[in-house]
Amino acid sequence: MTATTAQRVRKSVVAGAFYPAAAGELAAAVGKYMAAAEAGAQAARAKGAQVPKAIIAPHAGFVYSGPIAGSAYARIAPAADRIRRVVLLGPSHRVGFRGLAVPTVDAFETPLGTIPLDRTAIDSIARLRGVQARDDAHAMEHSLEVQLPFLQRIFPQFTLVPIVVGDTSPAEVAAVIEALWGGPETVIIVSSDLSHYESYETAQRMDGETVRAIETLAVDGVGEHGACGRRPIRGLLALARRRGMQAQCIDLRNSGDTAGPRDRVVGYASFVFEESATGEAPLDAGTRETLVKLARQVVRQGAEGTLKGEPTVTLQQSNPALTAIRASFVTLNAAGRLRGCIGSLQAHAPLVQDVARNAYKSAFHDPRFAKVTAAEVDGLETKISVLSTPAEVQFESEQHLAGMLRPGLDGLILADGARRSTFLPQVWEQIPDPAEFLGKLKLKAGLTADHWSPTMKAWRYGTETFGDGGA
């Protein structure tokens, strides 16, 4: 990308110091770090690791922290074709201020070219508490700039939302990140080193404590001397805890391990944050067990004739997860074959009631199957899927929509006029190709597989699925 004369551009200030100033040398350095991390990234994907929604990466000179940063960026590289926006937060090292600082310029520049800022997104958070326009906070700040060459190496086209975090609360940072969360087109990056200028052994101990705090989403566990980016980290942890995310440290080293002496070292770590399927905190084991037992009881009573009509559940529950207004599907299988599946797409009742009613409908009112008999009950497998709130997906074409889907994670509602249908995320097991997934979803709605209309709409949702056989 090249800047036009009308653009206001924040120029590179640490090229030649933190990383090479020559474009060819810089590209080669980033490529080297990425290549060194690729084997680990491939191994993680083979074990089922998702492309993370958020990462934490260090920001020192490349010779010191480049290999560790490469570990994090290798994890998001597979999403290069779908990520279009990067939300980048880092601490302020040069300017003291209260709040979060966004720039007024149009682009950031490194020797690899210019990156356009997402001015619409930046303007959208201007009303949030603590957010202010401060070019001085960005002018000499390296914590964000050092991340940019990695992003330029991975993503062929993206916009940037750069935020320098000053003295502010985790709640304020979390509110800003959540407002910019978006869908699979957006990745969140927090820039931070760990301990500073301790002995090698002390740094290992301190960094280990910080890693444990981040992996357990312990907001208050990231201490003042544990990470220079503690404020943006704490905000990310607060939001990750609320959304039921999982954090994992994938690389932990210090400057004594990479390119420096061991008497005074700086700690570096890379972390990945994976979303839960629903974007909400997962149900605990006791809640899951209660719901499965309830569903099985409803089916048994209905089959034996002791339950007449849809069940009514008396809400004498102390568990708020059971009384929360949530939508669910109940699926019954017999000998590995579908025996009934009915559910709710919109939350309209307490979860415990919704599950009971859908269990009854799945067993006795799925028009595709005969009613479940008493002789079948013991052989049935019960699966419950608790849905997140469907979010509308904005897309320009069917190809665009297919590229935005996350196989294995996304349930999808597709509608055109009065025609509407949905596939739960489990359907990806039978239809792993996004284009085929969409085609068969259209057939289910009574449309042709190649149907396309500018009036077509789609909503994505996630599910937390569990049952007799576990999650």
pLDDT tens string 60-90: 999 999 999 999 999 999 999 889 999 999 9
Tell me the mean pLDDT in the region 396-413.
Answer: 86
Tell me the mean pLDDT in the region 410-421.
Answer: 93
Residue 358 and residue 256: Cα distance in Å, rounded? 59
What is the CATH T-level fold of the domain 391-465, as seen in this structure? Answer: Dna Ligase; domain 1 (3.30.1490)
Listed in sequence order, the residues at least 6 apart from 133 whose beta carbon sits closer than 8 Å to its beta carbon are: 101, 102, 103, 104, 126
pLDDT band (50, 70, 90) for residue 162: very high
Specify the pLDDT at position 139.
Answer: 97
Q: Give the DSSP per-residue string, 271-336.
A: EEEEPPSSSSPPPPHHHHHHHHHHHHHHHHHHHHT---SS---------HHHHSB-EEEEEEEETT
Residue 114 and residue 95: Cα distance in Å, rounded? 24
Specify the pLDDT at position 315.
Answer: 63
With a cut of 80, say whether residue 100 has pLDDT above it: yes
Residue 106 and residue 7: Cα distance in Å, rounded? 6
**Would you say 432 and 407 are in contact if contact means Cβ atoms under 8 Å apart?**
yes
Nearest to residue 267, comparing CAs of 256, 279, 280?
256
**Would you say 414 and 441 are in contact if contact means Cβ atoms under 8 Å apart?**
yes
User: Where does 23-169 have alpha helices with state H?
Assistant: 23-46, 62-76, 119-124, 135-139, 142-145, 148-154
**Phi and psi (nearest 5°) for 42?**
-65, -40
Beta pairing class for 327-334 and 380-387: antiparallel
Note the pLDDT tens digit of each residue in 215-262.
999 999 999 999 999 999 999 999 998 887 889 999 999 999 999 899
How many Cα atoms sit within 13 Å of 307 on the Cβ side?
23
The strand ranges marked E within 107-245 are: 107-110, 113-116, 131-133, 159-165, 186-191, 196-198
Residue 205 and residue 183: Cα distance in Å, rounded? 37
Question: pLDDT exceeding 90 applies to what percent of the chain?
Answer: 79
pLDDT band (50, 70, 90) for residue 471: very low
Tokens 């290999």: give the residue.
67
**DSSP character for 218?**
-
- C-alpha triplet 434, 435, 440: angle, nearest 5°: 95
User: What are the Cα distances from residue 176, in Å, to 88, 98, 118, 181, 227?
Assistant: 11, 15, 15, 9, 20
Listed in sequence order, the residues at least 6 apart from 394 whose beta carbon sits closer than 8 Å to its beta carbon are: none
Q: Give the DSSP per-residue string, 430-471.
A: T--SHHHHHHHHHHHTTS-TT---TT-EEEEE-EEEEETT--
Question: Does the CA dihedral 355-357-360-362 come out positive or negative?
Answer: negative
**Would you say 84 and 157 are in contact if contact means Cβ atoms under 8 Å apart?**
yes
Nearest to residue 299, comparing CAs of 381, 367, 369, 368?
381
Domain 9-274 has CATH 3.10.20.30: no
User: Domain 285-387 has what CATH class?
Assistant: alpha beta
All structural domains of the chain with their residue ranges: 9-274, 285-387, 391-465
